[in-house]
């Protein structure tokens, strides 16, 4: 459906229905902007989280794949 058809269909609606459609479009726009800004905010603040870097001083986790293999071997055998 293209914009011309949408506008034509919108114009064909009674006034009350047009108000409902306009309110829905406004609501969807607010929700989209809110979710977009929250995604952006969480991505930029991730480096400030306290858990970032908590394993940097651990010698046993230098090779994460080897560390996980060892954990699995110990748990599954």
Structure confidence by residue, pLDDT tens digits, 39-51? 665 556 777 777 7
Tokens representing 3 are 């914009």
Asked if 61 and 67 touch (Cβ cutoff 8 Å), the reply is: yes
Tokens representing 74 are 């110990």
In-domain check, residue 70: no
In-domain check, residue 75: no
In-domain check, residue 53: no
In-domain check, residue 74: no
In-domain check, residue 34: yes
Q: How many CA atoms lie within 13 A of 11 on its CB side?
A: 6
State how many domains the chain has. 1
pLDDT (0 to 100) of residue 54: 78
Task: Show Cβ contacts of residue 60 under 8 Å, excluding neighbours closer than 6 positions.
Answer: 67
pLDDT (0 to 100) of residue 50: 77
Average pLDDT over residues 4-31: 93
Name the residue range of residue 18's domain.
1-45
């Amino acid at each position: 459906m293209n914009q011309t058809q949408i506008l034509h269909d919108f114009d064909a609606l009674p006034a009350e229905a047009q108000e409902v459609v306009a309110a829905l479009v406004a609501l969807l726009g607010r929700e989209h902007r809110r979710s977009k800004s929250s995604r952006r905010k969480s991505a930029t603040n991730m480096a400030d989280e306290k858990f970032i870097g908590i394993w940097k001083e651990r010698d046993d986790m230098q090779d994460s794949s080897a560390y996980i293999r060892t954990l699995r071997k110990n748990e599954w055998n």
